[in-house]
Chain A
Amino acid sequence: GAGVSQTPSNKVTEKGKYVELRCDPISGHTALYWYRQSLGQGPEFLIYFQGTGAADDSGLPNDRFFAVRPEGSVSTLKIQRTERGDSAVYLCASSLLPVGELFFGEGSRLTVL
């Protein structure tokens, strides 16, 4: 389909491991967002890209989290030395405009054992 695609849909890993989550936005959408959502909570802002650059990374919780979008399309969220508290659904969204409608992917559910 033409929607936002996220892979993997589910990832189980062990504490201390490295994880990459991928997001393929809607074609032509220049704005891309990463959120994470825990059960019973709203999506928590992590980072926002406008084109290739991270326009706002103020939501990244610490330096274990890093995201890239090298060609202004696909983005990868990278988590180093995972902790149990990183377990959540990681949502990616894209938008045609910086403050336009966000189109979300179905999310990547990360479980850290």
Chain B
Amino acid sequence: KAGVTQTPRYLIKTRGQQVTLSCSPISGHRSVSWYQQTPGQGLQFLFEYFSETQRNKGNFPGRFSGRQFSNSRSEMNVSTLELGDSALYLCASSLRGGAGTTDTQYFGPGTRLTVL
């Protein structure tokens, strides 16, 4: 069974640009979550999608947005990039997700975004 895949793996952008990251969950998984990892901050939750609906959202500005398609693939978009957006962006999928469930989140390898 293929794992969670993320594309691209590495990305360099300049301030003010926008970027779209892609995540393909494990086959059959319907919940996709996004996290930002920066040195010293650990993993910060961005948002979670299930059946094309955003169910949970972290404390990030509106420049960070996402969506999920009918095949559960998800994209994350960051507009008007800032230097502080440089980070590793991780995607995780699980079967159902949702409050009360304890199904395991499986992470992809991440997309390393550098903003110059």
Do A and B interact? no
